[in-house]
Amino acid sequence: MLEVIVVVFLALGVFFLFVGAIGLLRFPDFYTRLHATGKCDTLGVALVILGLLVYHLFYYSDTPLVCVKLLFLILFIFISNPTATYALMKAAYRTGLKPWKLGDERR
Amino acid sequence: MKGEKIPHERDIVVETVSRLMIPFIQLFALYVIIHGAGGPGGGFQGGVIFGSSFVLFIIAFGIGRVGKRIPEGILTLLTSLGVYIFAGVGLLCLIFTIGAVQYLNYGFVPLTSHFEENRALCMDLVEIGIGITVMAAITSIFFDLAWGRSEKEEERQ
C-alpha cells in the first residue's frame, strides 16, 4: 500500500516535469515558456520530494531529521522558484520584449 | 532597446523574498562549512554559498545601496584573514612538533587533551578560513563586475 502512495507521488511529479519540458520545447516565445516551466517545475519537484519523504518516513524511521530537511527543501522551492520566474518575467518585460501574438513566428 | 540604461527599480516581491531567504542561505552555508570535515561539503562550497547570498543581496537591492554598507577594504581584509587562518594552523603544527616536523598533521596542536578532538577542531578552523576567503573573494569579484558596469553607464550619459 505504501509503495502505491510513493509511486503515485513520484509518477505525478514526473508527469508535471514532463509537461513542463514539453512546454519549454513547444511554446512559441519567452513568456509562454516561463509560464510552462515556472509552475510545472515547482509542483513536479515538490511532488517528487514528497514521494521520497513518505518513503523515507516509513522505511528509515530511525532518521527523521532527513524528512525535516526534505520538508524545508519543498518550502524553499515553493518560495524561491515562483519569485525567480517573476523576476525573469519582469526583467524581460522591462527590457521591451514584446509578447507573442497569434500569427507571429516562433521565437 | 539594446544598450539603453535600465535604472534599478525597487521591487517589493524580490526584496521581500530576498530578505526571507538570505538568512537561511547563510545558515546553510555555515552548515556546509562545518559539515565539511566529516561528509560532503567543505570550506570552498560553503564559502561560495555564503558569497552567493551577498550576490543575491546586491541583485535584489541594487549595487548603489549595498555598496556603501560593504566597503571594498573589509572584503580585502577578510580575503587575507582567511588565508592567514589557513596558513596559521599549519604553522602551529610546525611549531608544536618542532622535533619531528609534521606539517598539516592537526592532531598535534594542543587545543584539548585528545588527539582526535584536536584534529577535528583544527580541520574545522581550516575550513572556516577557506570559507572566509572564498566568501570575500566571490563577493569582491561580483562587486568589481557590478561597479564596472554602473561606472560605464555613468560615462555614457
Q: Is A93 on the interface with B (CB under 8 A)?
A: no
Nearest alpha-carbon partner for B15 in B59, B69, B66, B71: B59
C-alpha A52/C-alpha A49 separation (Å) is 5
Q: Chain A contacts of B14, Cβ < 8 Å?
A: 83, 86-87
Question: Is the ipTM above a cut-off of 0.85?
Answer: no
**Per-residue pLDDT at A101 exceeds 60:** yes
Determine the distance in angstroms separating the CA of B56 from the nearest CA of chain A, rounded to an integer. Answer: 11
User: Residue B113's pLDDT is what?
Assistant: 78
User: Residue B148's pLDDT is what?
Assistant: 64
Residue A73's alpha-carbon distances to B25, B26, B37, B143, in angstroms, are 12, 15, 23, 29
Q: Chain B contacts of A80, Cβ < 8 Å?
A: 17, 21
Residue with more model confidence, A106 or B48: B48
Which grid coordinates belong to B114?
585528545
C-alpha B6/C-alpha B79 separation (Å) is 32
Which grid coordinates belong to A52?
521520497
How large is the average pLDDT for residues A79-99? 89
Q: Chain A contacts of B13, Cβ < 8 Å?
A: 83, 86-87
User: Residue B36's pLDDT is what?
Assistant: 77
pLDDT tier at A105, thresholds 50, 70, 90: confident
Nearest alpha-carbon partner for B10 in A82, A94, A79, A96: A94
* Residue burial A32-46, b: 16+ Cβ < 10 Å; e: rest: bbbebbbbbbbbbbb
Enter the pTM of the model.
0.80
> pLDDT digits over A25-72, tens only?
988 888 999 999 988 999 999 999 999 999 998 888 888 889 999 999
User: Residue A64's pLDDT is what?
Assistant: 87
Which grid coordinates belong to A36?
510552462
> pLDDT digits over B72-93, tens only?
889 999 999 999 998 888 888 8
Residue B87's alpha-carbon distances to B32, B41, B91, B103, B129, in angstroms, are 21, 21, 6, 10, 9
3-class state of residue B5 by DSSP: coil
Residues of chain B with a CB closer than 8 angstroms to some CB in chain A: 1, 6, 9, 11, 13-14, 17, 20-21, 24
What number of helices (H) and strands (E) belong to chain B? 5, 0
C-alpha B104/C-alpha B94 separation (Å) is 8
pLDDT tier at B1, thresholds 50, 70, 90: very low
User: Residue B118's pLDDT is what?
Assistant: 83
Share of residues in chain B with pLDDT > 70 (%): 85
Look-up of cell digits 584534529: B119
Which grid coordinates belong to B18?
530576498
CB contact under 8 A, B17 and A79: yes
C-alpha B35/C-alpha B153 separation (Å) is 43
